[in-house]
Amino acid sequence: MNNIGLVLSGGGARGISHLGVLQGLEEMGISVKIISGASAGAVIGALYAAGYTPGEILSLAKAHTPRSLIAAVMSSGGLFSPQVLKGVLIEAIPQNSFESLKTPLMVTATDLANCSSITFSAGVLHEVLVGSAAIPALFEPVVLEQRLLVDGGVCNNFPADCLSGKCDKIIGSHVNKLLNSSGGKLSRLQVLERCFHLAIAEKVAAQAKYCDVLIEPLLPHYNMFEMKHADEIFDIGYNAVMAQKESVLQLAD
């Protein structure tokens, strides 16, 4: 049986769709042997690697995050804000180390000090996760040794390459598929988000080539700053992976 690696993209609140993907994989009997993630994908990957179920992680996210992540930013609250995320991690994964996880995990962050992407797989965990999820200009960089860590998505929002050679097959869950807009008016945040994903689209496409199965839940009506549709986003991820059930099961043979 093939060892399966799973890569989870960043995407803020849309990252909840990864949980639906994980739920579907579990129902198919797919055991993930190693996980790679950036930003929200890294946080979800860490909690799953620690042994929490997709449903438990969904409940955790909903309990600690306002319906709007912008409200979370302004109030320094919400699961994906540094203060609350650090507190949740201390409670959920008290050992604070990659080595304590039940499933190997690789977390990609961006090091502003060296202007490069960096991937962690050992050592302290909480600080790396908070750094990987620290959206530039909204949250302060995390200082770790000689590094200044910010959102992993800046340089590599879909870190599939680091799984190459560490597993037999790779499943990718990417929650930021770019679709043509209807041409309607976009908010400033929607403009900012769309420009960001356009800027990194070429890098994401290159990373997607490492995946044997690529799952891209269609989430055009959900932005990365709103949690009010968390249950719907979960279901879309679940339906997306179940739609590729045959291809996923073939990987495990």
What is 86-111 written as a DSSP string? Answer: HHHHHHHSTT-SGGGSSS-EEEEEEE
The pLDDT score that the predictor gives to residue 196 is: 74
Average pLDDT over residues 85-95: 89
Here the CATH number for the domain that contains residue 115 is 3.40.1090.10
Is 136 a domain residue? yes
Is 135 a domain residue? yes
Per residue in 147-203, pLDDT (tens digit) is 999 999 899 999 999 999 999 999 999 999 876 665 567 666 667 777 777 778 889
**Is 39 designated active site?**
yes
**pLDDT > 80? residue 226:** no
Is 181 a domain residue? yes
- At 54, the pLDDT band (50, 70, 90 cuts) reads very high
Q: How many Å apart are CA 101 and CA 98, to the nearest integer?
A: 6
What's the domain count of the chain?
1
Is 253 a domain residue? no
**pLDDT > 80? residue 70:** no
Q: Which of the following is catalytic: 36, 39, 132, 173?
A: 39
User: Which of left, alpha, beta for 51 (phi over 0: left; psi -120 to 50: alpha)?
Assistant: left
Q: How many Å apart are CA 250 and CA 197, to the nearest integer?
A: 31
- At 72, the pLDDT band (50, 70, 90 cuts) reads very low
Select, from the ranges 67-76, 79-88, 178-187, 192-201, the one with the highest average predicted confidence (pLDDT): 192-201
Per residue in 134-161, pLDDT (tens digit) is 888 777 889 999 999 999 989 999 999 9
Tokens 């909204």 belong to residue: 138
Burial class (CB in 10 A: 0-12, 13-18, 19+), 217: buried
Is 252 a domain residue? no
The pLDDT score that the predictor gives to residue 223 is: 79
Domain containing 93: what range? Answer: 4-247
The pLDDT score that the predictor gives to residue 144 is: 94
Is 176 a domain residue? yes
Q: What is the pTM of this model?
A: 0.91
Percent of the chain with pLDDT over 70: 89
Q: Which of the following is catalytic: 117, 151, 161, 173?
A: 151
Is 62 a domain residue? yes
The pLDDT score that the predictor gives to residue 13 is: 87
